[in-house]
Amino acid sequence: MARQVTITLNVAAPGRNEVERLATPILERLGGYGDVSAEPYWKIEGTWMVTADLGVREGDSVTLVGQVLGLLGVQAPVEGDADVADATWFDDESPFEGVDWISVSASHPGQVEAEIEELVPLPPDPPLSKEEVDVLMTKLRGDDDGRG
């Protein structure tokens, strides 16, 4: 069973360059990772939320979250089940410079969302001739055995 794994780091840094310097070594410990975004964290001035896609990995969610925490050398209670799980690690004495807390989650890989398309009305059917109406009515009444 495959699960999408994501990590979020809360990094204290004055700017994006410093965030990248602090977050990159942590992400590199995890092997491959995909898209990374870093946004200022509005709740705590001077901190950033760095979210990285760790890809789709085989295994149940609880095990995958535990593996990521293990690769980082930290422990946190994992909540959830085989389908969806997450864990948040925090410590006043972080082994990672500038990182206040780490959250790891695993769940079913996302589905591609369908694009909503506006329905376009079909043009009206052209009017039927008298002969076409008679043929249609004969078939609807059952007067025609379908061979003619």
Q: What is the CATH number of the domain that holds 28?
A: 3.30.70
Q: Which residues constitute the domain of residue 19? A: 2-107
Q: Report helix angle 16-29 to 61-72, nearest 10.
A: 110
| Long-range pairs of 11-17 with CB within 8 A, sequence gap ≥ 24 | 11/38, 11/47, 11/48, 11/49, 11/50, 11/98, 11/99, 11/100, 12/46, 12/47, 12/48, 12/98, 12/99, 12/100, 13/46, 13/47, 13/48, 13/98, 14/46, 16/48
Element of type H or E holding 48: strand 47-58
How many distinct structural domains can be found in the chain? 1
Asked, for residue 61, whether it belongs to a domain, the answer is: yes
Phi-psi sector, 55: left (phi>0), alpha (psi -120 to 50), beta: left
Per-residue pLDDT of the chain (148 residues; tens, 9 = 90+): 788 999 999 999 999 999 999 999 999 988 877 888 999 998 889 999 999 999 888 889 999 999 999 999 999 999 999 889 999 999 888 899 999 999 999 998 864 444 556 777 878 888 889 998 888 888 888 765 555 5
Report if residue 65 sits inside a domain.
yes
Single pTM value for the model: 0.71
Give the chain's length: 148
* Strand, coil or helix: 17: helix
Residue 120 lies in a domain: no
Tell me if 74 is assigned to some domain: yes
Question: DSSP label at 11?
Answer: E
